[in-house]
Amino acid sequence: MLKPESENNIQRINLVIDSNHLTMLIPRDEEPLFRRAGSFISGRLEGYRHKYPNESTIPANGYLMMTAVDAAYHYHRLKAEKNQEALHRKVEELNESIEDFLLRYHR
């Protein structure tokens, strides 16, 4: 029996994050990104454990919270950079238009 097209595009993957197995249903074509995201989280968790080795000073799930804040920070920073790049391109386009206008009509 064939599954509907949308179900064919869904894939079950298993990630190991912080010694825990996590099963997720994801879009098939996004598997590499999810695996990289899992590796990113694992690496950040390890980094924070190394940077703050005294677990008694960290709240429950503190390393995971630090990793979540870190990931959210990078997301927002990249989003802001992308917005700035788009604004820069628009300003360049407007400058070119103004220069063209001035060259044509300001003689």
Mean pLDDT of the residues in the chain: 88
SS3 (DSSP) at 10: strand
The tokens describing 95, both together, are: 């400058």
Highest mean pLDDT among 48-52, 76-80, 87-91: 48-52
Q: Helices marked H in the chain — which ranges? A: 5-8, 31-51, 62-105
Secondary element (H or E) of residue 61: none
- What is the structure's pLDDT at 42? 93
Token digits for 35? 């695996």
- Burial (0-12, 13-18, 19+ Cβ within 10 Å), 17: middle
Q: How far is CA 53 from the centre of its chain?
A: 27
**What integer is the mean pLDDT of 42-62?**
93
Is residue 72 scored above 70 in pLDDT? yes
Judge whether residue 85 has pLDDT over 80: yes
pTM of the shown model: 0.67
Band of pLDDT at residue 102, cut at 50, 70 and 90: confident
Residues 6+ apart with CB under 8 A from 24: 12, 13, 14, 15, 34
**Mutual angle of helices 62-105 and 31-51, in 10-degree steps:** 120
Say whether pLDDT at 91 is over 90.
Answer: no
In 3D space, the residue among 15, 47, 52 whose CA is nearest the CA of residue 31 turns out to be: 15
